[in-house]
Amino acid sequence: MSRPDLNLLITLDVLLAEGSVARAGQRLRLSSSAMSRSLARLRETTGDPLLVRAGRGLVPTPRAIEIREQVRQLVKDSEAVLRPAKTLNLKLLARTFTLRTSEGFVENFGPGLISRINEEAPGVRLCFVLKPDKDSAPLRDGMIDLETGVVGKAIGPEVRAQALFRDRFVGVVRAGHPLSKGRITPSRYADGGHIAVSRQGLEMGSIEEALEPLGLDRNIITTVGGFATALALARASDLIASVPERHTGVLRVGMHSFPLPVTTPEFTVSLLWHPRMDADPAHRWLRDCLRAVCSLQNSLQNKTPS
Topology match between the domains 90-166+268-303 and 169-265: yes
Three-state DSSP class for residue 287: helix
Q: How far apart are CA 294 and CA 306, in angstroms?
A: 18
Beta-sheet strand order (sheet of 160-167): 124-130, 95-101, 146-149, 267-273, 160-167
Cβ atoms 6, 71 nearer than 8 A: no
- Backbone φ and ψ of 72, nearest 5°: -60, -45
Q: How far apart are CA 118 and CA 66, in angstroms?
A: 50
pLDDT at 233: 97
- For residue 154, what pLDDT is reported? 64
What is the reported pLDDT for 135? Answer: 73
What does each of the 306 residues of the chain score in pLDDT, given as a tens digit?
567 778 888 999 998 888 888 888 888 888 888 988 988 998 988 899 988 988 778 888 999 899 989 988 888 888 777 776 668 899 999 999 999 998 888 988 999 999 999 999 999 999 999 877 777 788 888 889 999 988 876 677 788 999 999 999 999 999 999 999 999 999 999 999 999 988 654 445 889 999 999 999 999 999 998 888 999 999 999 999 999 998 888 899 999 999 999 999 999 999 999 998 888 899 999 999 999 999 887 666 665 554
- Is domain 90-166+268-303 given the CATH code 3.40.190.10 in the classification? yes
Question: Could you tell me the fold of the domain covering 7-82?
Answer: Arc Repressor Mutant, subunit A (1.10.10)
pLDDT score, position 202: 46
Query: What's the pLDDT score for residue 85?
Result: 65
Return the exposure string of 171-187: e unless at least 16 CB atoms fall within 10 Å of the residue's CB, then b.
bbbbeebebeeeebebe
Q: What is the predicted pLDDT for the residue at 199?
A: 63
Closest alpha carbon to 237 in 215, 221, 261, 216: 221
Q: Locate the domains of the chain by residue range.
A: 7-82, 90-166+268-303, 169-265
What's the confidence (pLDDT) of residue 298?
Answer: 66
- Tell me the CATH class for 169-265: alpha beta
